[in-house]
Structure 1
């Protein structure tokens, strides 16, 4: 990933070495750290086996587990800025991890700013409508409900502690060098998609553009502000897979009616086929001033 240009510019060196903590340093977090910037990166990990990898990436690893509050005590006052990208638990309707992290961070001097990576799934099914950040939430799956709970927990903490917290609502993440980051494997399996009259709009963001959005939000996001982080694509899901199949020289996936899909596809995949929306990304462009390197998925996939 090309270097991220620091918005800090030519500030004195004491400001340039601010400490940034990444909670959930997976693919996107690693892209942020690899781009360096003029900060000192810290990365929370629950796996001792990842510590050498994180050091090699350029981060100071901190061992802790979001499911064990006592292991998070050392996070208090450790960083000036925090990016929270870790997912909620895989079960339940709430996210206790968000509560435990916020409690750990408030024990000493609060960070200057925090960013939380949420999901556009919190909007629920919008029947293909354009969706801005002001739209009321209507999460329809336990997975999305957990994200709603995390957003509420962290925004409450931000207001109570005076920390300017921003929330990034993220759609499907793709990238050629990301595990499962292209539709290639699914196309090889011949997994069906919905016929045109039943199809749904889907939204995307390249992992590199998302990493840059997270970085810019650390410096430019308005306090307590929500941002849709999505590219400019306006594709229905079936059209997306058709486009990718043509690009790869593979057969287009079969089209099926929604009733047939319920009999052929797993529940998780069906849940993505039951929600249709088009994300408005003007706030991201105007306030974070993010210029997308991959404005649509066709350009992003062609970069492969």
Structure 2
């Protein structure tokens, strides 16, 4: 008797659990075919008001909160593959260098049969300032902000968890995410405000990935993971930050932003912006192309920003 074939279809489908099902998580669900029923996508959400919208995309919402570990118990053994895109908390931390959300999630996922694979969405900020050098995944992290330090802690937690349980874990190091159809996904509003950028001699290299290409990278890492692997997920663009904003201004028919010295920027701009202007690196994406076999739909930001025009 074929017991598997006798099961209802909803139990035969692959189950993917998305933790942190925001814009990129929802794009990944579309890539997986959630709306068509090809894969059963379950998403943790702490917002009851998002339940209907998630269901409308073919996603099964699960109410729970990463800051309340007791609410996560039902996640144990639920997802055969797990996509973890939730950021660390930024306040109310016992230790500002740790990510308690990831640690709590991993404890729950280890209580029953562990998933077949886990993908964690980290940040390229873990590399810190590299002086504009090309950065491959073999470079040791040197985080320079509390936010990046918490990401390093999360990376170490998921990789140690994977080794202990024999679960392939992939860490994706992600730069600036953009997309014309993403909330705040283009520099247009900043250009309209006239926010200055650094003059060329003070400027830093910046890296980007279109949200659709990132979602596709997440799915590829989920479906064909390599054990305990780190992958930079970045496009082919090689631009300094000011040049990126100039490119976008020309595309939107807006004035190019004013250029200022680093000293002037420190007097005019908030710390949240200055932190991005203090780190310069160029991400190598060769491992992404070679191992994930990802062919970018939007190889450059020029192509990605222009796609909807």
- Do they fold alike, i.e. is TM over 0.5? yes
Query: Corresponding residue for 1:45?
Result: 45
1:225 equivalent to 2:229? Answer: yes
Superposition pairs for residues 89-104 of structure 1, below 5 Å?
Answer: 89-91=89-91, 92-104=96-108
CA contact (8 A) 2:19 2:82 kept: yes
- Indicate the SS of the match to 1:89: coil
Q: Of the candidates 276, 279, 282, which is equivalent to residue 280 of structure 2?
A: 276
TM-aligned CA deviation for residue 48 of structure 1: 1.2
CA contact (8 A) 2:24 2:211 kept: yes
Partners of 2:104 and 2:128 in 1: how far apart?
26
Partners of 1:269 and 1:16 in 2: how far apart?
47
Query: Corresponding residue for 2:179?
Result: 175
TM-aligned CA deviation for residue 176 of structure 1: 0.5
Superposition pairs for residues 125-204 of structure 1, below 5 Å?
Answer: 125-204=129-208
1:30 equivalent to 2:26? Answer: yes
TM-score, L = length of structure 1: 0.94
Q: Tell me, which stretches of 5 or more residues in structure 1 are unaligned?
A: 1-12
TM-score, L = length of structure 2: 0.93
Superposition pairs for residues 66-81 of structure 1, below 5 Å?
Answer: 66-81=66-81
1:216 equivalent to 2:220? Answer: yes
Query: Corresponding residue for 1:3?
Result: none
Q: Tell me, which stretches of 5 or more residues in structure 2 are unaligned?
A: 1-8
CA contact (8 A) 2:127 2:140 kept: yes
CA contact (8 A) 1:220 1:287 kept: no
TM-aligned CA deviation for residue 52 of structure 1: 1.1
Partners of 1:15 and 1:170 in 2: how far apart?
33
Partners of 1:168 and 1:261 in 2: how far apart?
31
CA contact (8 A) 2:117 2:225 kept: no
Pairwise CA RMSD of aligned residues? 1.2
Partners of 2:225 and 2:158 in 1: how far apart?
15
What do the CA deviations read for 1:200-247 (whole angstroms, capped 9, x no partner)?
000000000000000000012311000000000000000000010011
1:250 equivalent to 2:254? Answer: yes
- Indicate the SS of the match to 1:35: helix
What do the CA deviations read for 1:93-121 (whole angstroms, capped 9, x no partner)?
21000000000000000000000000000
